[in-house]
Amino acid sequence: MGKIDPKDQRSRCQLVSRLSRAYSHLGDSKNSAKCHKEGVNLARRLGDKTSLFELSVVSFLTQTTVKSVAEANDRIARVDELKRLSAGINDDDARSRALAVDVYVSTELGNRARADRAVDGWKNLGRCASVSTSYGSLGLRGP
C-alpha cells in the first residue's frame, strides 16, 4: 500500500475493502478484521457508501452458527443495514446482493415470511431467473 499516494484516501479505502474480502476468502480472519476495521473507518470518514457496502458484505461470506436469539437479532440488524446501504447506492447489483443475503439469512434463521419479502424485492429488480435458481439452491419451493 506504500505505492498509493497518501492523499488518495478513496483508492486506499477501496484497496483495504478488497483486501478484507480476500483475506476472508483465504481464511485469514486476523488480517481480514484488521483491513475491515480500517476500511470501515475510512469509508465512513469519506462518505464512501460503496466501500462501506462491500465491507458490510464480508461478514456474510463465512459460515456462522447462530447460538442465541441475540445473535439472530444481530444478524438481522446487519442485513437491514446492508439493505439500507444498498438503497443509498444507485446500483441494482448492490441491491440484489443485499436481498440475496437477506434471503439466505432469513432462511437460515427459519423466517420464511422475511425470505419471501426479500424474494419479492428481488423480483422487482427484474432478476426472476436468478431468484428462482437461488431460491431452489436454498432448498425452498419457488415463488
pLDDT digits (tens, 9 = 90+) for 26-66: 888 899 889 989 999 999 999 988 888 888 888 887 777 88
* Shared domain check, 49 and 88: no
* Shared domain check, 39 and 14: yes
| Phi then psi dihedrals of residue 59, to 5 deg | -65, -15
pLDDT value of position 116: 93
Asked if residue 103 lies in contact with residue 138, where contact means CB atoms within 8 angstroms, the answer is: yes
Tell me, yes or no, if the pTM score tops 0.85: no
Which residue stretches of the chain are H helix? 9-26, 29-46, 49-58, 69-87, 92-108, 112-124, 128-137
Domain of 19 in residue numbering reads as 1-61
What percent of the chain is modeled with pLDDT above 70?
A: 85
- Looking at per-residue pLDDT, the higher value among 2 and 84 belongs to 84
- Looking at per-residue pLDDT, the higher value among 142 and 18 belongs to 18
* Shared domain check, 72 and 55: no
* Shared domain check, 57 and 70: no
* Shared domain check, 134 and 118: yes
* Shared domain check, 57 and 75: no
Q: Is residue 97 predicted with pLDDT exceeding 60?
A: yes
* Shared domain check, 101 and 36: no
* Shared domain check, 70 and 55: no
> If you average pLDDT over every residue of the chain, what do you get?
83
Among 40, 61, 82, the domain-final residue is 61
Spatial distance between the Cα atoms of 104 and 96, rounded to a whole number of angstroms: 12
Query: How many other β-carbons are positioned within 10 Å of the β-carbon of residue 116?
Result: 15
Count of domains forming the chain: 2
**Least confident residue range of 6-10, 73-77, 102-106, 137-141:** 137-141
Among 15, 43, 61, the domain-final residue is 61
Instruction: Give residue 8's identity as a one-letter amino acid code.
Output: D
Residue 40 vs residues 7, 62, 83: alpha-carbon distances, Å = 18, 18, 16
Contacts of 4 (CB under 8 A, 6+ apart): 11, 12, 15
pLDDT value of position 137: 46
